[in-house]
Amino acid sequence: MAPKILLAYGTMAGSTAEVAQAIAEELTQLGAQVDVAPVESINDLAGYNAVVLGSAVRMFHLLGKTRRFLRKHRKALQAVPVAYFLICLTMSEEKPETIEKATRFAKPMLNTQTPVSLGLFGGCINHEKLTDMFGKPLRFLPEQDHRDWDKIRAWAGEIYPLLLNA
Ligand SMILES: Cc1cc2nc3c(=O)[nH]c(=O)nc-3n(C[C@H](O)[C@H](O)[C@H](O)COP(=O)(O)O)c2cc1C
């Protein structure tokens, strides 16, 4: 039977959802049965062999809804192999100091359960999608997209055997 993987994501402006979709496609091609869902819609982790959790970063923190997901499902997350990923502008450049900073954003994830891998990916600014009251002020930044789809898809390929064999 195909392993069942939950791909949960926290997003405000949609870029993390698109990354989650790309990872899910890759895992599906490798043979998994993947459910992709926003963190706020998930009530139960029962029946999954593994969980991949991704989140956007805002104001130096994981989104509040991602932190709520971690609190709500702490026990269940500790019972299955997990992989985490983050989307943030800090990772628009990959250097030791940005990796260190982004890893600090992931602390609530890392404190919940040690992952098989932590993926750190560049994020984006798309003015049209920054519609919420905290997002709108960031329209002063130029539009940009640092998501490296090859790196994201390669990461999905790396975590698949790790999740199955953990
Ligand atoms: C209001 C706001 C605050 C942000 N704060 C941070 C931050 O503290 N650190 C960072 O690296 N990126 C920050 N970003 C960049 C986001 O992580 C990036 O835009 C990401 O792609 C957003 O994901 P989403 O489209 O799934 O919401 C911020 C973006 C916005 C709109």
105 and 63 Cβ atoms separated by less than 8 Å:
no
- Work out the average pLDDT over 62-72: 98
* Averaged pLDDT for residues 151-158: 98
Q: Give the domains, in start order, of the chain with CATH numbers.
A: 4-165 (3.40.50.360)
Global pTM exceeds 0.85: yes
Q: Is the pLDDT of residue 81 over 90?
A: yes
- Ligand 1 pocket test: pick from 57, 98, 104, 138 the residue with the most ligand atoms within 8 Å of its Cβ: 57
Interatomic CA distance for residues 26 and 160, integer angstroms: 9
Which residue has its alpha carbon closest to ligand 1 atom 16? 88
**Distance between CA 47 and CA 59 in Å, rounded?**
34
For residue 138, pLDDT beyond 90:
no
Other Cβ atoms less than 10 A from the Cβ of 166: the count is 15
pLDDT of residue 30: 97
Separation of CA 90 and ligand 1 centre (Å): 9
CA of 3 to the centre of ligand 1 (A): 32
Binding site membership of 63 for ligand 1 (Cβ less than 6 Å): no
Mean pLDDT (the chain) is: 97
Q: What are phi and psi of 151, to 5 degrees?
A: -65, -40
Q: Cβ contacts of residue 41 below 8 Å, gap of 6+?
A: none
Kindly indicate the confidence band of residue 63, based on its pLDDT and cuts at 50, 70 and 90.
Answer: very high
Give the chain's length: 166
Centre a 10 Å sphere on the Cβ of residue 77 and count the other Cβ atoms it contains.
Answer: 21
Beta-bridged to residue 87, according to DSSP, are: 56, 121
pLDDT at 166: 83
Mean pLDDT, range 99-115, rounded to an integer: 98
What pLDDT does residue 108 have?
A: 98
Contact status, residue 87 vs residue 105, Cβ threshold 8 Å: no
Mean pLDDT along residues 92-115: 98
pLDDT at 1: 86
Confidence check: pLDDT of 161 > 90: yes
pLDDT tens-digit readout, 27-36: 999 999 999 9
By the 10 Å C-beta count (0-12 exposed, 13-18 middle, 19+ buried), 60 is classed as exposed
Across 114-129, average pLDDT:
97
